[in-house]
A = this chain, B = another copy of it.
Amino acid sequence: MEELKVLAPQSPNYILKPFVAKFKALADEKRLRIMYELCQRGKTCVCDLVEILETPQSSLSYHLKMLMDAGLIRRETQGTWSYYEINTEEVNALLSEQLCCIFRPPGSCC
């Protein structure tokens, strides 16, 4: 039976690791644009985003997955449609209030 190896919980890298994925998810113009649109429009399906961003559907799905895996957005499936929306709690916990008008849904702050 192999031993489970774990980073020391007090190591800085252990503390910082969860944030890397979140910042990576935000470190792309297309994904920032997705975040922006989801804030402006609320729940939005992929086919609408394809039109808004003028980006191939497979590319959109890829970027949405990045944001999902980082916990910054949420998906709600209704039949064939996938509706995505901002995960307000996560975004609020991560970004400053000054960014609320850009990356937080209207009314969720300020």
Question: How many chain copies does the complex carry?
Answer: 2
> Hey, which chain B residues are within 8 Å of A23, CB to CB?
23, 26-27, 32
> Hey, which chain B residues are within 8 Å of A78, CB to CB?
none
State whether A94 and B99 are in contact (beta carbons under 8 Å apart), knowing that A17-B29, A20-B28, A27-B26 are contacts in the complex.
Answer: yes
- Cβ contact within 8 Å between B94 and A15: no
Interface residue from B12, B17, B36 paired with A12 (Cβ < 8 Å): B36
Query: How far is B21's CA from A26's CA once the two chains are assembled, in angstroms?
Result: 10
Q: Is A102 an interface residue (CB 8 A)?
A: yes
Chain A residues packing against B (C-beta within 8 Å): 12-13, 15-17, 19-20, 23-24, 26-29, 32-33, 36-37, 92-99, 102
New A-B pairs, 14, CB < 8 Å, besides A16-B29, A17-B29, A20-B29: A12-B36, A15-B102, A16-B32, A16-B33, A19-B26, A19-B32, A23-B23, A23-B32, A26-B27, A94-B95, A94-B98, A95-B95, A95-B96, A96-B97
- Cβ contact within 8 Å between B12 and A37: yes
Query: How far is B70's CA from A26's CA once the two chains are assembled, in angstroms?
Result: 14
